[in-house]
Structure 1
Amino acid sequence: MIARFNFYPLCPRPDVVLGVKQHADSSAITILLQDKEVEGLQVLKDDQWFRVPVVPYGLLINVGDQVEIMSNGTFKSPVHRVLTNAERERNTLAIFIIPDVAVGIGPVEKLINEERPRAYKDIKNYVELFFQSYQQGKRPIEAAKISQELH
């Protein structure tokens, strides 16, 4: 488990500066305590960005890439980003629940069948793959997918 406090200061150009660029979390599960008043989180759905409303003192639970892999794609890891704000600063707390990097992950065997073939490879240290891909602007989960041509 890793906890990260995020501080987003005032930004004079929120039209050109993001707080965090678009990504999906490398964790299994992410727990987010948003700022109780200032919005900034957006989620991508059908190629459109939607704001995530603030629920004061509420916890937002986000499925990460590792649960998507382990669930053989049953649960999807959402792509999201954080906006900056010209008028108000924003604080959040994110807690990332991450399996031991030395232990491999892969789809649970009971979730693989003829109707739903194995969609992901077994992989170790997904977080390392995540950071390599993130720096290149790619989704790391794509590297974990099994080519559909094999099925």
Structure 2
Amino acid sequence: MLYDYTAKVREIEEQLLKAMARSLSLPEDSFVIQFGERPSTYVRFNYYPPCARPDLVIGLKPHADGSGMTILLQDEQVEGLQLLKDDQWFRVPIMPYALMVNIGDQLEIISNGIFRSPVHRALTNSTRERNTLAVFCAPDPAKEIGPVEELIDEKRPRAFKNIKNYVESYFHYYQQGRRPIDAVRL
């Protein structure tokens, strides 16, 4: 069942990547090509138990995803996801039976910063547990990624270096509380 679910999510991801490329007047396979023949898929079940003092405990610290794209199935009843915008936290409402799509650092690199990887966090709830299922879709770690050439010009110069196996360096910076994408920013 999980295998079938992730296979369907990968189909959704590919269609989204094609639509995003078309939205920028690029050939539709421009982003898909960068993910390579063997894109990576990681699945994580998140369990946030009830916490008597949610004001003191964060379920997952603020971060941006190191994936290319993260597709999240949220808890149907308990909120907890928040996005950071303009130094203010905003709650992400629950939409039953909907998938939430989050751009990851690697797609920000590939799009030369046009599509941004948002900083987000997960909060605990004082009385109820929260469960989510995240599918992280990423380029093949053996493949070098970088900004699509058509997205680089005088008005929008190259913003990132090319990199292989971004996830490996991601966790190094994440553990230090730093934004991993800053390490490849020019």
Asked if Structure 1 and Structure 2 have the same fold, meaning a TM-score greater than 0.5 normalized by the shorter chain, the answer is yes
- Ranges of 4+ aligned residues in structure 1 off by more than 6 Å: none
Provide the secondary structure at the position in 2 that maps to 1:44. strand
Q: Could you report, residue by residue, the CA deviation over 1:23-79 in whole angstroms, capped at 9, with x for unpaired residues?
A: 000000100000001000000000000000000111000100000000000000000
Match for residue 132 of structure 1?
172
Distance 1:125 1:65 in 2: 12
Corresponding letter in the other structure for 2:74? Q
Identity of aligned residues (%): 66
**What are the within-5 Å matches in structure 2 for residues 99-138 of structure 1?**
99-138=139-178
Corresponding letter in the other structure for 1:76? R
TM-score relative to the length of structure 1: 0.95
Distance 1:95 1:50 in 2: 22
Q: How many residues align?
A: 146
Q: CA RMSD in A?
A: 0.5
Distance 1:138 1:75 in 2: 20
Match for residue 61 of structure 2?
21
Corresponding letter in the other structure for 1:75? F
Q: Which runs of 5+ in 1 are unaligned?
A: 147-151
Distance 1:130 1:28 in 2: 12
Corresponding letter in the other structure for 1:70? I
Distance 1:9 1:57 in 2: 22
Provide the secondary structure at the position in 1 that maps to 2:60. strand
